[in-house]
A and B are shown apart, each in its own frame.
Chain A
Amino acid sequence: MWESMLKYQDLMWQSIGETFVMVGISILAALLVGLPLGTLLYFCRKGQLYENRSLSLTLNSIVNVVRSFPFLLLVVALIPVTRFLVGTAIGTLASTVPLSVVAIAYYARLVEQSLLEVPKGTIEAALSMGASKVELIFKFLYVEARSGLVLGLTASTISFISFSTVMGVVGGGGVGDFAIRYGYQRFETEVMAYAIVVMIALVQLIQFTGSTAARLLDKR
């Protein structure tokens, strides 16, 4: 394995870089769109503060549809959208479009779950103090749910890495694509093993960081 590691060192670094771009942009999308969407999902649920049946139904269907799509088909189905947004449907940057769509839906659901764990009493206390909606969200909900939100993002990130491995079909590159093209398709089993070891290390590192951060943030 050492031999192939040396031989493909440059390619491996490039692949890791591509994975980072794809996963990094997905995380950004999850935070910037998934977090607000999840919060909205939470608020308009039955029995919650801004209960809204039709909005709840609509958002839930969208999130479920995105999440139930076989990912490869979602990539294909989104090609026109990707072309419109990025200008091309091929390459690492183009790959971030379907990945971000999944990331948003995925994280939104986890955000909703974390917020549901905040005691109702905390919300009541916030309202009794005269908190506005925005204050309720940022000074109470996100503060109480913060370790769940971090754990959710950690789990999501690991899923995004997994999703990113199939982006080779649209020339997205990344570690997974490298493993398939050089390891599997060229029968270099060692290269495949090498790539898998890199992925395992990456996932372990992310999980460790996320779990530690969540533990430190949790004062409950």
Chain B
Amino acid sequence: MQPASIHGIIGASGAGKSTLLRLMNLLERPDKGTVHAGGKELTALTEKELRRERQKIGMIFQHFNLVANATVSRNVAIPLELARVPKGERQKRVAEVLEFVGLTDKAEQYPARLSGGQRQRVAIARALANSPQLLLCDEPTSALDPVTTADILSVLKHINTALGVTIVIVTHELDVVRSICAEVSVMRDGIIVDAFSREENGFLPPSGHSGSYREQITGKAGGR
């Protein structure tokens, strides 16, 4: 995988995409073989070392997986607490990442009061808090409508270009790959059966998930 690129993993349900992603931070342990990330062999680490490495790998999920009983800023502060960041610095960093995802005004809200897209932004802010070099995304837009999907994808793209973070996205949506991925791996039955890049092959443009529903469906502007 190229560092600082956006890599898509696509395939049908049950193809093993999520399992492959979970292997990358060892949420799932391989029966055999090793896992390398950030120049370290994760499979060889002790539990404590593995926890430290995980703090440097961000992860977001299809269903956001926020702590529902904690405010937005509290959710973002948790990974910093886990990494033993001192309080003053923590508050500063929380404000920073919330600004990055455009949720400064929602800092004291609870997730239940936010829309799906906003919740995923909180999850992204949480994943970015410890300035990871790698961001793992498990179907990050599959629970979102097309407009919100485009919105989240632009945030991910921005993270990649502005912060140089390597992003791995598991998805079953072609448009996700078409709009932001630089490389793709195709999976079937637990095996990568194909891999190619935008540079060599050129990707088709996504089928325009922006504008009104009329525009998305008919390709023409009009209506209200």
Q: Are A130 and B55 in contact (CB under 8 A)?
A: yes
Instruction: Offer 17 A-B interface pairs, CB within 8 angstroms, sorted by A.
Output: A119-B65, A121-B63, A122-B66, A124-B61, A125-B61, A125-B66, A128-B25, A129-B54, A129-B59, A129-B78, A130-B55, A131-B51, A135-B82, A147-B69, A217-B69, A219-B68, A219-B110
Q: Are B81 and A139 in contact (CB under 8 A)?
A: yes
Q: Nearest Cβ in chain A — how far from B220, in angstroms?
A: 40
Interface status of A18 (Cβ within 8 A of chain B): no
Given the known interface contacts A218-B69, A219-B112, A220-B69, the answer about A130 and B61 at a Cβ–Cβ threshold of 8 Å is no
Give a binary string over A122-165; 1 marks a CB under 8 Å from any B CB, 0 the rest. 10110111111001000110011011000000000000000000
Interface status of B103 (Cβ within 8 A of chain A): no
In the assembled complex, which residues on chain B have CB atoms less than 8 Å from the CB atom of A220? 68-69, 112
Which residues of chain B in 176-199 are interfacial with respect to chain A, using CB atoms and an 8 Å cutoff? none
Q: Nearest Cβ in chain A — how far from B163, in angstroms?
A: 18
Q: Nearest Cβ in chain A — how far from B120, in angstroms?
A: 13
Q: Nearest Cβ in chain A — how far from B13, in angstroms?
A: 17
Give a binary string over B46-79; 1 marks a CB under 8 Å from any A CB, 0 the rest. 0000111111010101011111111000000011
Main secondary structure of the interface of A (DSSP, over half): helix
User: How many pairs of residues, A versus B, come closer than 8 Å at their CB atoms?
Assistant: 70
Q: Are A144 and B55 in contact (CB under 8 A)?
A: no
Q: A130-B82, A131-B82, A140-B67 are in contact. List 7 more A-B contacts (CB 8 A).
A: A122-B67, A128-B54, A130-B50, A132-B51, A139-B67, A147-B69, A219-B69
Classify chain B: how many residues form its interface, as a range.
20 to 34
Given the known interface contacts A121-B61, A139-B78, A219-B112, the answer about A130 and B69 at a Cβ–Cβ threshold of 8 Å is no
In the assembled complex, which residues on chain A have CB atoms less than 8 Å from the CB atom of B67? 122, 139-140, 143-144
Q: Nearest Cβ in chain B — how far from A219, in angstroms?
A: 4
The CA of A199 and the CA of B83, in the complex, are separated in Å by: 50
Say which residue of A125, A144, A147, A217 sits within 8 Å of B59 (CB atoms): A125
The CA of A125 and the CA of B83, in the complex, are separated in Å by: 15
Q: Nearest Cβ in chain B — how far from A48, in angstroms?
A: 15
In the assembled complex, which residues on chain A have CB atoms less than 8 Å from the CB atom of B57? 128
Interface status of B12 (Cβ within 8 A of chain A): no
In the assembled complex, which residues on chain B have CB atoms less than 8 Å from the CB atom of A132? 51, 82
Q: Are B68 and A129 in contact (CB under 8 A)?
A: no
In the assembled complex, which residues on chain A have CB atoms less than 8 Å from the CB atom of B126? 129
Q: Are B65 and A122 in contact (CB under 8 A)?
A: yes
Interface status of B221 (Cβ within 8 A of chain A): no
Q: Nearest Cβ in chain A — how far from B115, in angstroms?
A: 16
The CA of A107 and the CA of B101, in the complex, are separated in Å by: 42
Nearest-neighbor residue (CB-CB) of B129 within chain A? A129
Interface status of B27 (Cβ within 8 A of chain A): yes
Give a binary string over A83-101; 1 marks a CB under 8 Å from any B CB, 0 the rest. 0000000000000000000
Q: Are A128 and B51 in contact (CB under 8 A)?
A: no
Q: Are A124 and B65 in contact (CB under 8 A)?
A: yes
Q: Are A130 and B70 in contact (CB under 8 A)?
A: no
The CA of A139 and the CA of B126, in the complex, are separated in Å by: 14
Q: Are B69 and A144 in contact (CB under 8 A)?
A: yes
In the assembled complex, which residues on chain B have CB atoms less than 8 Å from the CB atom of A127? 27, 54
Which 6 pairs, one residue from A and one from B, show the smallest C-beta to C-beta distance? A130-B54, A125-B65, A121-B65, A130-B51, A128-B59, A130-B55
The CA of A17 and the CA of B81, in the complex, are separated in Å by: 43
